[in-house]
């Protein structure tokens, strides 16, 4: 994610000794998608697509931008 406004060389969160369980600052995939879309200049809450007659969002109803990693 270099060059997109993310703080360089940082580690966000932590896992256990076996890298199996998250121990600090978990980030859901919807949050990661919302952060990437925001850095691309796209509002993740307005980005929808129609499927079987219903509008869906890529980040579903969850997605929050992770502002701690933004420069």
pTM for the structure as a whole: 0.79
- Does any domain span residue 5? no
d(CA 37, CA 43): 7
- Does any domain span residue 4? no
Whole-number pLDDT of residue 4: 78
d(CA 30, CA 19): 21
The encoded tokens of residue 41 equal 């200049």
- Does any domain span residue 27? yes
Count how many domains the chain has: 1
Domain holding 40, by residue range, is 14-69
Query: What's phi and psi for 38, nearest 5 deg?
Result: -65, -40
Residues 17-34, mean pLDDT to the nearest whole number: 92
- Does any domain span residue 45? yes
- Does any domain span residue 6? no
Q: Give the closest residue to 61 by CA, choosing from 36, 26, 30.
A: 30
Q: Give the closest residue to 57 by CA, choosing from 65, 45, 66.
A: 45
Residue 2 has pLDDT above 80, yes or no: no
- Does any domain span residue 30? yes
- Does any domain span residue 23? yes
- Does any domain span residue 29? yes
């Amino acid at each position: 994610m270099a060059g997109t406004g993310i703080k360089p060389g940082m580690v966000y969160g932590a896992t256990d000794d076996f890298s199996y369980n998250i121990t600090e600052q978990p980030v859901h995939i919807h949050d990661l998608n919302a952060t990437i879309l925001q850095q691309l200049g796209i509002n993740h809450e307005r980005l929808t697509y129609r499927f079987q007659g219903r509008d869906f969002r890529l980040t579903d109803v969850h997605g929050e931008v992770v502002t701690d990693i933004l420069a």
